[in-house]
Every structure is written in C-alpha cells, then in structure tokens.
Amino acid sequence: MKLYKAYAKVNIFLKITGTRGNYHEIISRFVVVNSLYDELSFLKKDKKEFEIIGEFKCTTEQNTIYKAYIALLDFTKSKSLENLMQDYAVKVDKNIPTFAGLGGGSSDAATYLKMCNSSLDLGLSLNELALIGLKVGADVPFFIYGYNSANVSGIGEIVQEFKEELLEYELYTPKLEISTPKVYTSYRNNFFKPINSFYANELKEKTSLEILSTMSADEANDLFKPAFLEYSELKKFYKHGYFFSGSGSSFFCLKNI
C-alpha cells in the first residue's frame, strides 16, 4: 500500500491586493513545512459508496477529498475513476490540524488528485490538475505544483515558484477552530486597505528570511488583525516573535533562532 504525503504550509506574508466579486485577491508567499504532513493511501473496501477513513469532523460531502473526486470526475468523465472509488477507500492519517491556516484540507485534496492521476494514468498535466483543484479551494493549486516556496496571487490560481533555501519552522496551533470566511469578512468590513502593485512586487522579490527579519506579525499578514478581532482568545496564545499563518489559528517562527 503506497503512502502519499500531503504536506502543510505556512504563509510567510499574506497581503490583500483587491477584490474579485466576493473573493479577495492576494499576494502571499507559501512555503512547505516538511516536518508536518498527512498520509494518504488507497485501501480495499467492500461497500460501493465513496469512503474516507480518517478522523474528520465534517461529513464526507463536505470533505475536500470528496470535492476533489467530484471535480476530477466532472473534468475527466472517467469510468476507471468511478470504479477505483467503488473498490477502494481513501485512508487518511491526519496530522495537520484543521481550521488552522496550515492548508491541510487543500493539501489532502491536491494529493488525492495526484494519486488518482498517477494510479489511473489519466495523463493530466499539473496545470489541468491545478484548474480542477481550484474548484475545491483557493490553496489547492499551490500543493498541486509541489514547489517548496512560491508566490501565490490572484485568488490562488497564480503560483510562481520562488527559489530559496527551505527553512525549518516551529509551529504552535491553539485548539481553536477559525472560520476563514468570517476572518475575510471582518477584514473587508473593518480593515480594508489593499496594497498597490509596486509594494506587491517588492514583497515578491524578498526572501522569506528577509520578510521574517524585517516585518512584524501584523505587518506581514493582513488577516492578523481581523482574526484577533473576531477571536479575541487568540491574544492569550500569541507569543512575541511568532508569525500568523493564513487566517489562523496557527503561529510559527524560525526554528533554532
């Protein structure tokens, strides 16, 4: 039984550049956290309906892996994909905390898409898989491409590799579930101040180490203040020198510094 690793990510910086309908356009540096990952595999089963084996708080229909299956099936119309999911369950050993800003659900979905593409020889390119993944979630394309570090823009569909030394991070995730839509709504209602393209380009050129050495947590992440406004209990978990990933609730800092 082959195991596939679905890695976590942190956002070194996350700035809002504008809006697109109900969505927010961003510029963000996504980096992989190699020390934290879920493990996915296919497991033979008896019942025919789609099955995910793992510790999840959502229903199967709400799970990003199931949504990825539906999006992939819609794109490929593959009978072999239907047959695969009738005969096999998706087993997930869950290590990435949920609702934590670490991209666990998106990484699981991306890994599942790549598992199916490889196992069934669907022949889909990374660009096609990213397009399918975007229907599941804005962070999925980053995990499809598999870069260690990338500048992500638009609503998540533009992923540009950023070549730099991969750093090690220390993570701290309070047992607090944060709603990403709620945090973005609070940003739009209370803190809306998109950055201009000049500043966005400036950030894109800086290394992650430069960002973490020169910016504070609230300067680096536009969702820091709205998250703390909506979830005031975050204040008791915040430690000086730590940064905020995504919409939270995870904090991170460079390891051994």
Q: Are strands 52-53 and 88-93 parallel, antiparallel or unpaired?
A: parallel
**One domain for residues 97 and 173:** no
Catalytic residue check, 9: yes
pLDDT of residue 99: 87
**One domain for residues 157 and 178:** no
Are 166 and 9 in contact by the 8 Å Cβ rule? The answer is no
CA distance 143 to 204: 19
* Structural domain boundaries enclosing 180: 169-254
pLDDT per residue over 69-120, tens digit each? Answer: 999 999 999 999 999 999 999 999 999 998 899 999 999 999 999 999 999 9
- Percentage of the chain with pLDDT > 70? 100
| Beta strands per DSSP E along 21-144 | 23-44, 52-53, 88-93
Distances (CA, A) of 196 to 15, 156, 218, 227: 10, 18, 18, 23
Structure tokens at 154: 């638009």
**One domain for residues 44 and 140:** yes
CA distance 197 to 213: 22
Confidence of residue 249 (pLDDT cuts 50, 70, 90): very high
Are 56 and 97 in contact by the 8 Å Cβ rule? The answer is no
For residue 255, pLDDT beyond 90? no
**One domain for residues 12 and 112:** yes
**One domain for residues 173 and 139:** no
* Closest to 52 (Cα-Cα) out of 39, 66, 68: 66
**One domain for residues 123 and 239:** no
Where is the domain boundary, 135, 161, 187? 161
Specify the CATH number for the domain of residue 111.
Answer: 3.30.230.10
Bridge partner list, 170: 253
* Closest to 140 (Cα-Cα) out of 63, 26, 64, 246: 64
Please give the residue that has the higher pLDDT: either 102 or 21: 102
Where is the domain boundary, 108, 130, 161? 161
* The total number of structural domains that make up the chain: 2
Q: Quick one: average pLDDT of 152-163?
A: 96
**One domain for residues 103 and 136:** yes
Average pLDDT, the chain: 96
Specify the CATH number for the domain of residue 250.
Answer: 3.30.70.890
**One domain for residues 154 and 175:** no
Catalytic residue check, 77: no
pLDDT of residue 22: 86
Catalytic residue among 38, 108, 139, 222: 139
pLDDT of residue 205: 98
Where is the domain boundary, 107, 132, 161? 161
**One domain for residues 194 and 118:** no
**One domain for residues 102 and 144:** yes
pLDDT per residue over 202-231, tens digit each? Answer: 999 999 999 999 999 999 999 999 999 999
**One domain for residues 117 and 27:** yes
Say which residue the tokens 């201009």 belong to.
196
**One domain for residues 34 and 153:** yes
Confidence of residue 257 (pLDDT cuts 50, 70, 90): low
Catalytic residue among 9, 15, 67, 206: 9
Structure tokens at 90: 């998706």
